[in-house]
Structure 1
């Protein structure tokens, strides 16, 4: 576990994370990247706790994801398994578990104010917090070859990783309303969703 986990975490976060994994008896699997999620937690039929996290080059996102998933385990243990997965009990647990990591020895200074704001009321995914998501992307090991939805003009067409093609529409509160061309259905996209631009309008 030591050798497998160490490359994915900030240096100063490695020892406390390893201690958490041992304390909570977590079976951690690092898997090939999945587009739909960064990680997940499951209690298996034999009672063991399995956490699966994408292999990623961004150590800060990996750390947040790891603590996010361990917080599910701890919240269920303390408050019972009938709580909402991302309800107030999980939010409180996640806040408390992240606090020791929110310091300059672990995170870059530019991320700390965004993280402090995020953890006042943590969301189910840091990807829905646009300022934090955009700041974290700067530390991705992979170079971005696509575009963010907010960057492309309204009326442009774009493709997702799964091959579906959309036309960008107007902004509705915080997200963009986009038309799936094959079905005529409307979907809402986060401003920082990464897409492949096909035809720029305007």
Structure 2
């Protein structure tokens, strides 16, 4: 099947030809990956004769898939310029991410809230990576609703919840950006991201 047609299944259709051209231009191995709970996408630099490699989770909504794809291509472009001499999400990467977002801003691919969140993220030097919570929340607005799933920040204080492997936790106080939660069975303390997806108990 034509590469553009495949990409159109995962991202806004108007963006697919641009990403297809990038894959060819940078001679990149681009893989649509299984779902990974720890990351949306991944970039691997050339190694032992292998080309640049990018993978993006298949189950992201179209806007999250595109933002993640651009994020990873910005890593590729920055590696071509600097190799491993700079921070992964430093000023050079941010500048390239901003530059590579421009075609999609010009095409008005993104809804206003996502565009605003991307712009705010790129203008905020304190944000070190694409784990920026404001951008993450904007992208999640376009996920298919999951009626039984909440984020930790939306749970009431002291609520019991299940996370991934079915262990049960109790929500505690917020410490800076994360919530201090207690695993009920072991009384061990864990720190949860405000946007971690969980299921309420009871």
Conserved 8 A contact 2:4-2:17? no
CA shift at 1:132, angstroms?
2.6
Partner of 1:76: 79
Q: Which runs of 5+ in 2 are unaligned?
A: none
What is the aligned partner in structure 1 of residue 8 from structure 2? Answer: 6
Scaled by the length of structure 2, the TM-score of the pair is: 0.87
Structure 2 counterpart of 1:42 = 44
Structure 1: unaligned runs, 5 residues or longer? none
CA contact (8 A) 1:33 1:55 kept: yes
Q: Partners of 2:97 and 2:113 in 1: how far apart?
A: 21
Give the structure 2 partner of residue 98 of structure 1. 101
Tell me the TM-score normalised to structure 1 length: 0.87
Q: Name the CA shift for 1:193/1:69 in 2 (closer, same or farther; >3 Å).
A: same
Offset at 1:189? 1.9
What is the CA distance between 1:173 and its match in structure 2? 2.2
Give the direction of change, closer, same or farther, for the CA distance of 1:196–1:77 in structure 2 (3 Å limit).
same
* Deviation (angstroms), 1:104: 6.4
Alignment partner, residue 29 of structure 1: 31
User: CA RMSD of the aligned region, Å?
Assistant: 2.0
- CA-to-aligned-CA distance 1:148-181 (integer Å, 9 cap, x gap): 1112122122111133332111011232111233
Residues in 2 aligned to 1:142 and 1:27: alpha-carbon distance in whole angstroms: 32
Aligned length: 197
* Preserved CA contact (<8 Å) 1:159 1:165: yes
Tell me if the contact between 1:12 and 1:105 (Cα under 8 Å) persists in the aligned partners. no
Please state how far the C-alpha of 1:99 moved relative to its aligned partner: 2.6
Q: Contact 1:156/1:168 (CA < 8 Å) preserved in 2?
A: yes
